[in-house]
Chains A and B, each alone.
Chain A
Amino acid sequence: MQSEAMTTVPSGSGAPDHPDLEQSSRPLTGTAGAGSSIVRATKRPVGEIFAEMGRSESDLRRFLLGLPGVDQVGAEARAASLATRSIKTTAKLWALEMAVSMVDLTTLEGADTPGKVMSLCAKARRPDPGDPSVPPVAAVCVYPDLVPVAKRALAGSSVKVASVATAFPSGRASLGVKLADVRDAVVAGADEVDMVIDRGAFLSGRYGLVLDEVRAVKQACGQAHLKVILETGELDTYDNVRRASYLAMVGGADFIKTSTGKVSPAATLPVALVMLEAVRDFAELTGALVGVKVAGGIRNAKDAIRYLVIVNETVGEAWLDPSLFRFGASSLLNDLLMQRSKQLSGSYAGTEDFSIA
């Protein structure tokens, strides 16, 4: 439905003199066929953007502060207006199933055990034991030391293993420790790594440090895809969310993610809107498609569908795919299943009709 610029054709995935940026050939699971002339032809390699942002803190600050501001009232009004979309019948069913396939089923508790993780993985592979037509979720998300358990439990399935890393959730540790954290996860077999940015550095204006850390983590990820958590609840302003999104994307993020889920407020519709706008603008600029993950606070299907509407009307159909949009959640899954069963059967289900993770 979203036309034109969303159907991008890659024009090169990074300047050759920045080897660490070669990884930024993001999955272009978009429409290949519609590379029509409406698409803006002049994409710029990410490396060039990086060079433009400059080497010094002050250059970088100038670049970030030069990005268009975000008016809070206007952004929240737009998000609220999109939330009034009425998604019914066939559209609702489609959205519910798509949402299920976008879930990163998550357990990030101090009390996590192998047993807990195995149980989660079983649910991830087969969200509804009574209905094999329900798609599996996108991934399972755990702490690094439980990655091996998840890998074994998910062997042979399409469900990915995502691991948080970099001294999640606070990120308050030395770079060495954070990178070791990443390497442990990667060695254990994580397909995806969810890192946190250094909010202390960001809020004290050390943007270069934030950027360098993302790049370093991206390098340590190897083949694993990198999600960069901005922790938008701590960034406070939408202007900061926009700037942090850019830092993450230029640093090599495959996904930008709202929250750790450990801080409130976590994901909100306006924050997602701002991040999706940043991702859209970045795609316009460079041709690279960066995904968005909303995490924390998405409790029910109605919320999830609202996010999908925002994706649809901000960045377009190419992002309506687990390779470019994810929900970080746990209790959401059963509500999606419950609403799906209501759509299919016409009557309301009970809570015990769905297995717990």
Chain B
Amino acid sequence: MTKSYPTQESEHDLETGSIKSDDAVGKGEGAGLIGQHEPCSPKLPATGRAGQAVFEYAPAPESRSIVHLQSSYGLFIDGAFVEPLDGKAYKTENPATEELLAEIAAAGTADVDLAVEAAGRAQKTVWGPMSGVERAKYLFRIARIIQERSRELAVLESLDNGKPIRESRDVDVPLAAAHFFYYAGWADKLEYAGFGPDPQPLGVAGQVIPWNFPLMMAAWKLAPALAAGNTCVLKPATTTPLTALLLAEIIQQADLPPGVVNVLTGAGSVAGAALVAHPGIDKVAFTGSTEIGKDLQRALAGTGKHLTLELGGKAANIVFEDAPLDQAVEGIVNGIFFNQGEVCCAGSRLLVQESIAETVVEKLKRRLATLRVGDPLDKNTDLGAINNAAQLDKIRELAAAGEAEGAVRWSPACSLPERGYWFPPTVFTGVSQAHRIAQEEIFGPVLSVLTFRTPEEAVAKANNTVYGLSAGVWTEKGSRILWMAGQLRAGVVWANSFNRFDPSSPFGGYRESGFGREGGRPGLAAYLDV
């Protein structure tokens, strides 16, 4: 019995493409629980030679055996893994199967005290006084070990987060290593960064990261902070602690002095809140929802603590009639379905020029039929599981709202696994700026399609939001690209591309998408007293 989402236009039997138990997904643990990873649209009768099977991609699972999951994990404080003082713990699960993966320590306020004190000591006595040259070498070591253990990290990330192994392998892990590499090289060159002859670190950084790119976010936070001479207390997201803990192990392997990096797993409302409020924290860096970011900014009011925020978005992906159409369709798909759309800078609003809207939507729907939803560990999977039940509820709620407010909902007919948190790729057409699904961040694989007539109108619609994180522009006309880039109130503008990241390229938003930048030279400013 498969779970299928009813679609408006599907004319196919929704029962096609059922899970085939004999087509076992893989020989690793969890095999057979997830089942098929067929592309979304149901199979049509065979073509070509009579009786010939169609080109079905057999299961291509990445083996789980490279990961050595412990049954329980402690907190990483002052260079060692320790039990939380009040012994509290919780379990983290694989969102694709709801299988429990491990027991995770839940840090309490006393643990936060210990970690912040350790970080403070390390900053004053070891890391702060250390020369940039020496700090750099530690960061290079960490980058190297990430590369050495990249496969293990990628598999673990997909298990804990639900994202396809192809993405964790080809995007998350390499970028994490790259960030350490890039900032390692800044550690001994701060006087050339444009902040004066002798910029000083802020002290101890309390860093709270989200569940959508667990390892990569940890790297984005730790690397610049450490390069600038700060020590860190990192709080990974509750549902995705595992790669941060493996990173702590890597940090041990790199012989980083104790206390320089501390990792506190646990609840945001307990460990996270205690961390940012702690008087021993000089700098707070947060990536997450705008709502929580605002809570944090409020909590820090009047404390004098430095703060940078990287929050939500509702990016416009703008396609002009003279766009390179096939590549634009790829850009649309990448923009909203990469990482299941659980991306702050996702291109969640397609703004397509009215003259080609029908053509583009048709091409898009045809393209979506080749998306493969299923087992994150299968190398051919394009769209994995939604990270957690709460997020799945939010996506469902907003998708229902979209229908209720009159937009037209479409998904390729997908059969989804029975267990786990899944949502099919979904497109809403007939959306206007007055709709909730054009204004509120959904953070899932749901695209809202709006039209525009002129570049001015595209800009007006794109900027008609409280957010301002990113935007995409598709056209063959270079002068228009640069004009649009200048007009769009967004911290990142992708021309004829989308979702491109690089440690040298500053990333961050305008307005309620946050303030401060990560990456490049501006990324250092967040961690220096400038």
Contacts and interface: CB of A to CB of B under 8 A. Distances in A.
B1 interface: no
A94 B55 contact: yes
B68 to A, nearest CB: 24
B47 A321 contact: yes
Contacts of A95: 55
A34 interface: yes
A346 interface: no
B324 to A, nearest CB: 4
Contacts of B496: 71, 73-74
Given A2-B370, A34-B45, A308-B55, A86 B322 contact: no
A85 B57 contact: yes
Contacts, number: 126
B330 A317 contact: no
Interface of A: 1-5, 7, 29-31, 33-34, 36-38, 40, 68-71, 73-75, 77-78, 84-92, 94-95, 98, 274, 277, 308, 312-313, 317-318, 320-321, 323
B324 A69 contact: yes
A216 to B, nearest CB: 31
A243 to B, nearest CB: 14
Contact of A75 (B39, B54, B322, B327): B327
A78 B330 contact: yes
Interface in B286-345: 322-328, 330-331
Contacts of A86: 57, 60, 379-380
6 contacts: A1-B43, A1-B55, A1-B370, A5-B366, A95-B55, A321-B48
Contacts of A77: 330
A88 B41 contact: no
A98 B43 CA distance: 19
Nearest to A273: B326
B331 A74 contact: yes
Could you tell me the dominant secondary structure of chain B's interface residues? Answer: loop
Contacts of B365: 4
Interface in B368-402: 369-370, 379-380
A290 B368 CA distance: 23
B69 interface: no
Interface residues of B, number: 44
Given A74-B324, A318-B47, A4 B369 contact: yes
A112 B41 CA distance: 48
Given A3-B369, A30-B47, A38-B11, A317 B55 contact: yes
A313 B365 CA distance: 13
B327 A33 contact: no
B201 to A, nearest CB: 38
Contacts of A78: 326-327, 330
B369 A33 contact: no
B434 interface: no
A74 B55 contact: no
A312 B326 CA distance: 16
Contacts of A88: 58-60
B113 interface: no
Contacts of B324: 68-71, 74-75
Top 5 nearest A-B pairs (CB, nearest first) are A74-B327, A86-B60, A321-B48, A86-B379, A3-B41
Given A31-B46, A74-B497, 7 more contacts: A3-B369, A71-B324, A73-B496, A75-B326, A85-B57, A86-B57, A91-B56
Contact of B48 (A33, A70, A320): A320
A317 B326 contact: no
Nearest to B23: A90
Contacts of B60: 86-88
Contacts of B55: 1, 91, 94-95, 98, 308, 312, 317, 320
Nearest to B379: A86
Interface of B: 11-12, 38-39, 41-49, 52-60, 166, 170, 322-328, 330-331, 362, 365-366, 369-370, 379-380, 412, 476, 496-497
Nearest to A308: B55
A37 B325 contact: no
Given A68-B325, A84-B170, A91-B58, A74 B44 contact: no
A317 B55 CA distance: 7
Given A68-B323, A68-B325, A7 B44 contact: yes
Given A3-B369, A88-B60, A277 B326 contact: yes
A3 B327 contact: no
A114 B379 CA distance: 48
A2 B369 contact: yes
A159 to B, nearest CB: 15
B476 A69 contact: yes
Of A1, A7, A68, A318, most buried by chain B (CB within 10 Å of CB) is: A1
Contact of A68 (B38, B42, B58, B326): B326
Nearest to B356: A68
A34 B45 CA distance: 7
B49 A2 contact: no
B242 to A, nearest CB: 24
Of A4, A5, A34, most buried by chain B (CB within 10 Å of CB) is: A4
Contacts of B412: 3
Contacts of B326: 68, 70, 74-75, 78, 274, 277
B322 to A, nearest CB: 7
A312 B44 CA distance: 13
Contact of A74 (B41, B57, B330): B330
A1 to B, nearest CB: 5
Nearest to B49: A321
Contacts of B56: 1, 90-91, 94
Given A73-B496, A317-B55, A31 B47 contact: yes
